[in-house]
Structures are given as C-alpha cells and as structure tokens.
A = this chain, B = another copy of it.
Amino acid sequence: MQRHTGRDMWDMDECQSPRMGSVILGVDGGASNTVCVCIPAAMPFNDPLPVLARTVAGCSNQNSVGEDRARETLERVMSQALLKARRRRSNVCAVCLAVAGVNHPIDQQRMLDWLREIFPSHVKLFVENDAVAALASGTMGKLHGCVLIAGTGTIAYGFTSDGREARAAGAGPVLGDWGSGYGISAQAMTAVVRAYDGRGPETVLTNNILDFLGLASPDELIGWTYEDQSWARIADLLPVVVESAESGDEVANKILHNSVGELASSVKAVVQRLELGGEDGKHPFPLVMVGKVLEANKRWDIGKEVIDCVTKNYPGAYPIHPKVEPAVGAALLAWNAIASELDGDIRNVQ
C-alpha cells in the first residue's frame, strides 16, 4: 500500500465532489481502532441520525503507535470519510477528535496545532480523551453527567455543566482496574489456580475456562498467560465467567459482585467530586453506560447491578445506554458546542 503524506491525502480530497453543505467530523480513537463519522451540520437532527459516511482505520493512540503514525492514521480516516461523504475540506465547519492517550493539556495542544494546519481558522476544533466521546454518545453531545466505560479496561469520567471534570480508575491492570473485563477474567483465572493449589474453593470456572481455552489442566494456564499478556485476550473470558455465575457457581458470583462494587465505586467517586447529585445528592444527572461488561446478560446483568448500587446514594442518576457509537458522540459534542455558541450569540444580540 502506498503511504500518503498528510498533504497528499487532503489534496486528493479537494478535487472531489462539489460543495453540498457544511459537515462535522467526529473521530473516536480507541485502543484497537479509529472510527470517523461525517454528519451534516444542519439542525435539528432526526432519529436515527443521518451519518453521511463512516470510515475505520487502525490504532491512533500515540502512546502505542507513536505521534507520526497516530497523526497519519487520524488524517487518513478523516480524509476518507470526507471522500466517501462526497464533501470537501472546505465543507467542514467543526472537528472533534476523541482519542485514547490524550490525558494532558500538552497532548491536547499538540493535536490542536496540527489540526489547525489542516483546517482554516473558522473551523471549530476539539480534542478530547475517548471517554468524553462515550459520554457525549449518550447525551446528544452535551458534556454533563458521568460515563462509565467497562470493556477490556474501565474508566469513569464526568463533567459538570460549568466545565469541571473528574475521572476515576482507567489506570490499567497493574493499578487495579478490577471491575473491567480484564479484571473479572484475571480474577476468574486466579480462582482456578487457587482451587488447583488447594488455596481456594472448588469452582466450575476450572472446567469452563479450560474448555473454552482448549487446555487440559490448570497447570497449562500459567504457560497460556505467559505466551501473550494482551489484556483483550484475557478479557475475552468474560462470557465464561458470567455463564459460570449464572449456573450458580459461588466463586464466579463473588467475582461479579466485586466487579459491581468496583465499578459503582468509580462512578460514585466522580459524582461525589463533581457534586453531580447536588447538595442533597438527589439532583438528576445522566449516567451513560458503555462497554461489553455492562451489557445485559441472561440473568446476571452487571450494568443493572451497578446502576442499583449508584442510585442508592444518588437517586437522581438516570442511566442511558447510547444508541449511537462514540464517534457519533464526538461529532455531537462538536455540534453541541457550535449550537451553544450560536445560542450565546443570539442572547448577546438580544
């Protein structure tokens, strides 16, 4: 495959279709891939949202692939989305990049700087952590409330209406994200080893996990984990743990209950720091739930248990399961910011 420089990509784009109206680009750069959507800037939105184009590329976390490759991936996914939507760069009125690995204002500024090299000064630019897009995917782009993401990893992220933000967890397996898919699976494998050693109770997790992995003995689990310690590979055991809990296994049930406690505690830490529930803790706020750990299973619904646990302290928390993906959340975030600005302008004129 030929590698395009940033300039090539965008020049190629500019000789495409004629101007057909303003658009917004939303990008979600996660741990394994990068998704870009192109939506019309016109409002109000219909349901379902009119996504003009959607493109996918590899990882754009600069901590994983380096800054140059991250930038190239982000440029490519955006230019291809415009191409597919038959729009030109001059049609773009706003861009929101929500990328994993953006944790500091320095990261943010660096990305804003090179985005500005591509898009002229009237284009609104936003750079955020990918958790922010997940929140926006549940709130139609409004940055208010708390999002809980629990997939391979887990993080809770919250915003107040006046722009304060807070996060909890999201620190990775070494630093104890035990409520995540990785955390649940690692605890389940540990329980198998403990039962085998005679250090813990017997559990159906032993047979179920060995069957799932095609291993003959718990001894072989050690070799299996050393082979490749990727978190996603370990987190793939999640359905086996849920199934074991649903069959009544006490060890598996205890692991899932712990996970609920951990996830709820991340949410409560964010809500408390931001006082999202107001002084009496009863004010309403959105709690956006994202990721495979929180999706409903047959009887064991981790997401529902987490919500029950949070609403005991914060009865105003209203759960939202987003109907759109985080890339659309990123686009909505940009759309919402433009709309707020227009509102402000109108108010200022009045």
Measuring CB to CB, which residues of chain A are less than 8 angstroms from any residue of chain B? 63, 103, 167-176, 186-187, 189-190, 193-194, 197-199, 219, 221-222, 225-226, 229, 234, 265-266, 269, 272-273
A167-B197, A168-B197, A197-B169 known; A174 and B229 CB under 8 Å? yes
Say whether B174 contacts A234, CB under 8 Å. Answer: yes
A174-B186, A175-B193, A221-B175 known; A199 and B103 CB under 8 Å? no
Say whether B222 contacts A193, CB under 8 Å. Answer: no
A169-B197, A197-B169, A199-B168 known; A175 and B269 CB under 8 Å? no
CA distance A130 to B305 in the complex (A): 46
A198-B269, A199-B265, A199-B269 known; A186 and B193 CB under 8 Å? no
Smallest CB-CB separation from A271: which chain B residue? B198
A199-B265, A199-B269 known; A193 and B176 CB under 8 Å? yes
A198-B269, A266-B199 known; A190 and B175 CB under 8 Å? yes
For A272, the chain B residues whose CB sits under 8 A away are: 198
Closest Cβ of chain B: how far from A4's Cβ, in Å?
30
For A198, the chain B residues whose CB sits under 8 A away are: 168, 269, 272-273
For A226, the chain B residues whose CB sits under 8 A away are: 63, 172
A63-B226, A103-B219 known; A171 and B193 CB under 8 Å? yes
Smallest CB-CB separation from A273: which chain B residue? B198
Smallest CB-CB separation from A182: which chain B residue? B174
For A266, the chain B residues whose CB sits under 8 A away are: 197, 199
Say whether B172 contacts A194, CB under 8 Å. Answer: no
Say whether B172 contacts A225, CB under 8 Å. Answer: yes
